[in-house]
């Protein structure tokens, strides 16, 4: 399906598009980055040059390799230059109407054998493909930021996608040294669906004044081994991204209370306190700001960790129960896509599914909210004394 003579196209020269192009070019594929914004292309070219120079400085690649990678990429503001591509990956704004328009335009330009892919993190691949005359060649290829460093790539066939094309893309991404996982076309796919409770349950605990943000972050790092706490991570991602993904997943799941967004986070977004990039979010990053210190109460910390991890496991189990991805791919997605210390289903075996079930039942009894309903797979596996591994 793909050979070293294949040309890879990337639509969008932002951080994601540029990163994907660098990955492709590093693997010796001629790559064309298209963007209508000439200034954005100039910036992307400068950033690529700087990125490659750093890799040479750190002795990660040779000067010759850096030159080869740079020369493998063409930056263009003429969409016609994409006409000979074998695969085009779109990495633009998360807006369905805009994406559909781009895919329509691409379809009229390329050959019938060209595969059209979207790097969307939460929009329906089937909906994007529906805008095309040949929806069977449309699929999702979702890289994680930064694309050059993060190993995980979600491959998402739409309802109409040709399975052979999805498998060919999976093989290509694997040959690029990435770890591809296959996911059904459902809101959030694997990572952005399963990870929601990491943020939402932490926000619920904070809003109910059970613990402050520094204590919640401390608990997840201290007892869970996470590199960052949920509030630190939300501030790093940016509330303009993290909140919008939460709201998109919630809306696309017909307002399922499990994915309900937080008003506290929405208010930060409205105030334009977007996190690290604006100097203020849940934490204040301005010079001289007083640091927030956690209350290192072990009992409280273990309660916080147990509550959040059980909600995460519940979501991972539901993802497996609905056949959205395999058990192995779910755990791979969470360890390689968002750097979780362990796969959630492996963690479920360690904690014990009966303990997870009891925690969820206690939460349901307390709140009487559908948000805390236990996944049927957990109940079934507990009754049958089964484990995931």
- Which residues are catalytic, by number? 121, 142, 154, 192
Q: How many CA atoms lie within 13 A of 288 on its CB side?
A: 0
Distance CA 195, CA 234 (A): 12
Distance CA 153, CA 190 (A): 11
146 near 19, Cβ under 8 Å?
yes
Distance CA 277, CA 146 (A): 16
> Measuring CA to CA, which residue among 51, 43, 52 is closest to residue 13?
43
Distance CA 141, CA 374 (A): 31
Residue 133: Cβ within 10 Å count? 10
Torsion angles phi and psi, residue 140, rounded to 5: -100, 135
SS3 12: coil
Distance CA 145, CA 152 (A): 10
Q: Which tokens in the block code for residue 108?
A: 């009229």
CA 336 vs CA 231, 328, 364: distances in Å:
20, 12, 31
Reported residue count of the chain is 389
For 244-250, which contacts have Cβ atoms below 8 Å and span 24 or more sequence positions? 244/94, 245/121, 245/122, 245/188, 245/192, 246/196, 246/199, 246/200, 248/94, 248/122, 248/123, 248/187, 248/188, 249/122, 249/187, 249/188, 249/192, 249/193, 249/196
313 near 334, Cβ under 8 Å?
no
Task: Name the DSSP letter for residue 280.
Answer: B
Distance CA 278, CA 115 (A): 38
The pairing of strands 138-143 and 115-118 is parallel
């Amino acid at each position: 399906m793909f050979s070293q003579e294949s040309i890879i196209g990337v639509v969008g020269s932002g951080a994601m598009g540029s990163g994907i192009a660098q990955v492709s070019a590093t693997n010796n594929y001629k790559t064309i980055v298209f963007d209508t914004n000439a200034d954005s292309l100039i910036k992307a070219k400068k950033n690529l040059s700087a990125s490659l120079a750093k890799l040479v400085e750190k002795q990660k690649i040779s000067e010759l390799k850096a030159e080869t990678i740079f020369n493998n990429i063409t930056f263009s503001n003429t969409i016609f230059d994409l006409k000979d591509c074998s695969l085009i990956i779109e990495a633009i704004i998360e807006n369905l109407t805009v994406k559909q328009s781009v895919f329509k335009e691409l379809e009229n330009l390329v050959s019938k054998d060209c595969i059209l892919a979207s790097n969307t993190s939460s929009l329906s691949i089937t909906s994007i493909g529906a805008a095309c005359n040949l929806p069977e060649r449309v699929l999702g290829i979702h890289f994680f930021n930064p694309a050059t460093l993060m190993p995980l790539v979600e491959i998402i066939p739409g309802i109409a996608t040709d399975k052979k094309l999805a498998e060919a893309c999976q093989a290509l991404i694997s040959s690029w040294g990435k770890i591809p996982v296959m996911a059904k076309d459902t809101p959030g796919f694997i990572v952005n669906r399963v990870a929601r409770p990491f943020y939402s349950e932490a926000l619920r605990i904070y809003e109910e004044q059970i613990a402050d943000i520094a204590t919640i972050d401390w608990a997840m790092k201290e007892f869970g081994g996470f590199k960052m706490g949920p509030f630190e991570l939300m501030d790093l991602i940016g509330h303009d991204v993290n909140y919008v993904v939460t709201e998109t997943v919630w809306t696309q799941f017909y307002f399922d209370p499990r994915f309900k967004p937080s008003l506290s986070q929405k208010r930060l977004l409205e105030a334009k306190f977007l996190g690290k990039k604006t100097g203020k979010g849940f934490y204040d990053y301005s010079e001289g700001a007083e640091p927030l210190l956690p209350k290192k109460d072990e009992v409280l910390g273990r309660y916080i960790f147990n509550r959040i991890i059980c909600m995460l496991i519940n979501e991972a189990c539901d993802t497996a129960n609905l056949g959205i991805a395999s058990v192995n791919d779910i755990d791979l997605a969470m360890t390689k896509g968002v750097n979780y210390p362990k796969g959630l289903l492996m963690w479920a075996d360690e904690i014990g599914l009966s303990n997870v079930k009891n925690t969820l039942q206690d939460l349901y009894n307390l709140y009487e909210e559908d948000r805390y309903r236990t996944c049927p797979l957990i109940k079934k596996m507990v009754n049958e004394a089964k484990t995931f591994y």
